[in-house]
Amino acid sequence: MTSFQSTLGEDAGIAEELAESQRAISIAEFFEKNKHMLGFDSGARGLVTAVKEAVDNALDATEEAGIKPDISVEIRESGDYYTLIVEDNGPGITKEQIPKVFGKLLYGSRFHAREQSRGQQGIGISAAVLYSQLTSGKPAKVTSRTQGDSAAQYFELIIDTDTNEPEIQVEHELAPGESDLSPTHGTRIEVEMEANMRARQQLHDYVKHTAVVNPHARLVLDEPGLDEPLRYERVEGAGLPDETEEIRPHPHGVELLSLIHIS
């Protein structure tokens, strides 16, 4: 028994004192202390998880826009830290949405949609941003250009774990030629994290298997130690997968409270 517990009941205001120490926590603060639940429990696994989340985002974005994916994954080494850069040729993200997509956990468009998709909760890529800032202390760098726009939007941001809101450190427009992004449209994210390449084979397997099950996509992986990038070209004649259709819930598969909300 602690000295605090031994005095329990002696002080008439103990309930009020205990109440003062209670507070709500944000989802970002929870995962800050439990990042292993998101697949970021080690440097080796964390890098593979970050690649997966970024590639999944790119595949979803391009397919939803009816664009055959061209995805580039680049890993750069700098001492104990690695920089991950993933770029796609998707439709791009609007200026207003970029901070929320990358700097807010549980933010997305698929959670309430009953249809097949790679991501659903809106955690993946923002979790990679969180892991990056926790291990390197540096912000994520995001560049995106939407179809029809000549200028690209550039952000450097982190997640405020107290509020689960994006904290923008740098924001400006990049004129054509000022960014490394494709001159048409797409999104590029760059995160630096404490990591290692002990799971190199697992990373290669993930990229290879992703290319196999997505023959309509073109994937390129460049990393330290490779004489030349690994390239998985798009299969000739491979079309985009059929668009998924949202299904309606069946009464026998819906819990009571969910049924009440639907009605």
Q: Name the residue ranges covered by the structural domains of the chain.
A: 27-228
d(Cα 168, Cα 103) in Å, to the nearest integer?
9
- Asked if the model's pLDDT at residue 262 lies above 80, the reply is no
Does the domain formed by 27-228 have CATH 3.30.565.10?
yes
Whether residue 35 contacts residue 129, with contact meaning beta carbons closer than 8 Å, is answered with no
**What is the reported pLDDT for 118?**
61
Alpha-carbon gap, residue 167 to 147, rounded angstroms: 26
Check if the beta carbon of residue 49 is closer than 8 Å to that of residue 40.
Answer: yes
Q: What is the predicted pLDDT for the residue at 116?
A: 61
Q: Which residue has the tokens 């107290």?
A: 162
Q: Please, what is the average pLDDT of the chain?
A: 86
Write the DSSP assignment of 133-146 as a string of letters. Answer: HHHH---EEEEEE-
pLDDT of 4 higher than 60: no
> Comparing 141 with 1, which gets the higher pLDDT?
141
Beta-sheet strand order (sheet of 81-88): 165-174, 152-160, 140-145, 186-194, 81-88, 70-78, 218-222, 230-232
According to DSSP, residue 151 is labeled S
Which tens digits make up the pLDDT trace of 63-87? 989 999 999 999 999 888 999 999 9
Give the mean pLDDT of 175-189: 86
Q: Each residue of 35-58: pLDDT tens digit?
A: 888 888 888 889 999 999 999 999
